[in-house]
Amino acid sequence: MSQMRVNQDLCTLCGACVEACPFAGVVMGEDSIEFTDSCRLCSICVKACPTGAIWLEKTAAGPSFDLKKYKGVLVFAEQRQGEIQPVTYELIGKGLEMAKQLGQDVAVCLAGSNVQTLAEDLLTYGVDKVYLYDYPELEYFRIEPYTAIMVDLVNEIKPNIILMGATPVGRSLAPRVAARLRTGLTADCTTLSVKENGDLVQTRPAFGGDVMAQIITPRHRPQMATVRYKVMPPAETVQPHGEIVHCKTDQAQLQSRITTLGFRPHQVASSITDAEIIVAAGRGIGKPEGLELLEEFAGLIGGVVGTTRPLVEQGWANYNQQIGMSGRTVRPRIFIACGISGAIQLVAGMRGADTIFAINTDPDAPIFDVAHYGIVGDLYEVIPKLIAIIEEGGSLGAISQVG
């Protein structure tokens, strides 16, 4: 492991390194300077030292185990009350794509009570194996038994990649499994790809969505990632060829300090996540009244209104309408961007739309780079024209008539 070193013969205890450290990672001892747990190995103190007494000693780190033993993709199939959650099918689709590149298999871990039929259904999506843990104690998600069986399974089959949904369940389970396995985890990925050597390239927004970071785990296995719903296409059904493996576990592994008294499903209101048509408003609408115009337009075409982050921060819209990596990720059939410049944080949350229309007064707005169709114009002129055409019996094809 890399660490900071000090040449005591050169150190004059001037304190320049202590003052320069922004993390309070350097302190003055009785006879020498010392580095605390707050040290980030940033080397700022090295540059600040007037005598060159400090340096960063780098230790080459190699793999602690044989990476070649880890092969294949394992998908955690999330189910609630006997129903597979849709993000699972997206993970299977991506898993099949990456496994094909590597010439490896895709397996699914399914846990629950009386879920044999769900396991059979998962085989129709082209996976090679479904590892089934079917116990009454697994009817409801409880973190201790689910973590235990996932860790046992991973230690047995040694997958190269583990994928989970970035859902409340996945966000609870994934970090615990990663900690037990002493491996890395990248949360809320928007894009996944794999190198020829098996390294998983995990892309996710960073610095508030201003940049997209690419993360790899080159020296540890398995590689783990949670993925948001609606950012990848789901797997398609095929003729089943895989098998169901009924897994056994100790009763002690199924125990939990959590007692489930009952279950009441959450009443989910209609969400932009599931909308087929979205009319999205950006900062360019200029005033809150613009949302009323877009609401009228969306109602005529059977859509819903979404917004960008600035409108939510200004109090013009609710958070559940926000689209982007800090809001909802959407994959509608039609996405109409009104007054949206096309910041990377927003685009990452909607670029999976089948067809994207953009209306903006700026011909150089980045949104036109991802849009399939674009209108350079004022939305307060364009949208009323569209409303009039649709009210007269027209359709969304009317957009091509407006310019």
The superfamily in CATH containing domain 67-254 is HUPs (3.40.50.620)
Q: Which residues have a Cβ under 8 Å from the Cβ of 159 and sit 6 or more positions away?
A: 70, 71, 72, 73, 74, 107, 222
Would you state the pLDDT for residue 347? 87
Secondary-structure breakdown of the chain: helix, strand, coil percentages, each rounded to the nearest 5: 30, 25, 45
Does residue 377 sit in helix, strand or coil? coil
Question: Is residue 227 over pLDDT 70?
Answer: yes
pLDDT-based confidence at residue 112 (cuts at 50, 70, 90): very high
Mean pLDDT check: name the lowest of 77-91, 146-160, 198-212. 198-212
Would you state the pLDDT for residue 391? 83
Domain ranges (residues) in the chain: 3-57, 67-254, 272-401
Would you state the pLDDT for residue 120? 96
Question: Is residue 156 over pLDDT 60?
Answer: yes
Domain 272-401 has CATH 3.40.50.1220: yes
Mean residue pLDDT of the chain comes to 89
% of the chain residues with pLDDT over 70: 93
Would you state the pLDDT for residue 396? 60
Would you state the pLDDT for residue 320? 86
Question: Is residue 177 over pLDDT 90?
Answer: yes
Question: Is residue 312 over pLDDT 80?
Answer: yes
Would you state the pLDDT for residue 263? 75
Would you state the pLDDT for residue 395? 60
- What DSSP string runs through 73-133? EEEEE-EETTEE-THHHHHHHHHHHHHHHHT--EEEEEEESS-HHHHHHHHTTT-SEEEEE
Question: Is residue 268 over pLDDT 60?
Answer: no
Sign of CA dihedral 92, 95, 97, 99: negative
Mean pLDDT check: name the lowest of 112-121, 148-157, 255-264. 255-264
The pLDDT tens digits of the residues spanning 325-370 come to: 778 888 899 999 999 998 888 888 888 899 999 999 999 999 999 9
Would you state the pLDDT for residue 64? 55
Cα atoms found within 13 Å of the Cα of residue 141, Cβ hemisphere only: 17
Would you state the pLDDT for residue 245? 96
Averaged pLDDT for residues 272-296: 91
Higher pLDDT: 327 or 307? It is 307
Nearest to 398 by CA among 353, 339, 336, 347: 336
Would you state the pLDDT for residue 212? 79
CATH topology for 3-57?
Alpha-Beta Plaits (3.30.70)
pTM exceeds 0.85, yes or no: no
Would you state the pLDDT for residue 400? 52
Question: Is residue 398 over pLDDT 80?
Answer: no
Burial class for 97, CB neighbours closer than 10 Å (0-12, 13-18, 19+): middle
Would you state the pLDDT for residue 337? 94
Averaged pLDDT for residues 179-188: 93
Averaged pLDDT for residues 250-255: 90
Rg of the Cα atoms in the chain:
26
Does residue 306 sit in helix, strand or coil? strand
Averaged pLDDT for residues 271-296: 90
Higher pLDDT: 105 or 204? It is 105
Per the CB < 8 A criterion, the answer to whether 150 and 177 are in contact is yes
Would you state the pLDDT for residue 376? 93
Question: Is residue 252 over pLDDT 60?
Answer: yes
Per the CB < 8 A criterion, the answer to whether 52 and 42 are in contact is no
The pLDDT tens digits of the residues spanning 27-71 come to: 998 888 999 888 888 899 999 999 999 999 886 655 556 788 999
Could you check whether 67-254 and 272-401 share the same CATH topology?
A: yes
| Cα angle 362, 367, 371; round to 5 | 115
